[in-house]
Amino acid sequence: MRYKLLTAALAATAALQFAGQAAATDLEVTHWWTSGGEAAAVAELAKAFDATGNHWVDGAIAGSGGTARPIMISRITGGDPMGATQFNHGRQAEELVQAGLMRDLTDVATKGKWTDVVRPKSLLDGCTIDGKIYCVPVNIHSWQWLWLSNEAFEKAGVPLPKDWNEFVAAAPALEKAGIIPLAVGGQAWQSSGAFDVLLAAVGGTDTFLKVYKDKDAKFAAGPEVAKVFKAADDARKMAKNTNVQDWNQATNLVITGKAAGQIMG
């Protein structure tokens, strides 16, 4: 499961700790939530922050996290940090914490009783390093979903698939009906994310853990993972006519019945 997290940079020290006091704070918040629905959600966060008497300065960066994260890291490490920034927890975030560049939010979390509020508890665990809390979990992106268009399958005259193999088998009929079997945008993270889903769905939990947790190179070169690469090749062929870049554009193809399915959180 991938968690998208809003984390506080060093420049947020006064802004976050003293928000709501007499002197209003202009807080620059950088993020890559720029699609229509994402921007609307961010606007609600900004509205709530502004209601405290402070001012949310929106620092949206167009494109995916792959585009935004290097910009964010460059500013933080270069001495020009934003007040707060969206970030996925993981190695990059840990390195910023270890370098002393991220704000310790433990006092804020204790005052807000985050341990009682945040559920599941594992979300807050992902923000905790050496017993200290460094980020606020605001969004969960769980990849393991295949969204299907009833309209597309009805038009092609084939039943909705119950598993991946049935979906692949339906592809020729979908293509004959002028429908893209699988919508995958041109951003690299969409392809890599879809592969991870296939690793879990086709290979199974044990396969996923042996590859990513145990890093078992011998197992990764074996027949179980070969089945996953076969599934990924099928997905590539099914998605070849997508011809859009952003994830929400691919989603729209499914919504409008122009594509039969999309792997997305």
User: What pLDDT does residue 23 have?
Assistant: 65
> pTM for the full model?
0.74
For residues 129 and 179, membership in a common domain is answered with no
The token pair that represents 235 in the structure block: 């997905």
* Cα dihedral across residues 58, 60, 65, 71: positive or negative: negative
Is the N-terminal amide bond of 161 cis, ω within 30° of 0? no
Number of domains the chain contains? 2
Is it the case that residue 139 has pLDDT exceeding 90? no
Q: pLDDT of 152-177, one tens digit each?
A: 999 999 999 999 999 999 999 999 99
Q: Decide which of 116, 141, 166 is a domain's last residue.
A: 141
- CA 259/CA 87 separation, integer angstroms: 31
CATH number, domain containing residue 218: 3.40.190.10
Q: Decide which of 115, 141, 167 is a domain's last residue.
A: 141
- How does strand 2-8 pair with strand 128-129? unpaired
Structure confidence at residue 4 as a pLDDT band (50, 70, 90): very low
For residues 9 and 135, membership in a common domain is answered with yes
For residues 32 and 49, membership in a common domain is answered with yes
Which structural domain, as residue segments, surrounds residue 82? 2-141
- CA 240/CA 146 separation, integer angstroms: 17
Q: Note whether 108 and 118 are within 8 A (CB).
A: no
Q: Note whether 19 and 136 are within 8 A (CB).
A: no
Structure confidence at residue 5 as a pLDDT band (50, 70, 90): very low
Which whole-number Å values give the CA distances from 215 to 59, 122, 229, in the listed order? 37, 23, 17
* Three-state SS sequence of 31-56: ECCCCHHHHHHHHHHHHHHHCCCCEE
**Alpha-helical segments (H) within the chain:** 13-17, 36-50, 65-77, 91-98, 106-111, 114-117, 121-125, 150-156, 164-176, 188-201, 205-212, 217-220, 223-238, 247-255
User: What pLDDT does residue 138 have?
Assistant: 86
User: What pLDDT does residue 3 have?
Assistant: 41
Q: pLDDT of 30-71, one tens digit each?
A: 999 998 889 999 999 999 999 999 999 999 998 888 889 999
The token pair that represents 212 in the structure block: 């990513």
- CA 134/CA 111 separation, integer angstroms: 14
| Top-confidence range, 111-115, 123-127, 228-232 | 228-232
For residues 67 and 135, membership in a common domain is answered with yes
Q: Decide which of 119, 141, 163 is a domain's last residue.
A: 141
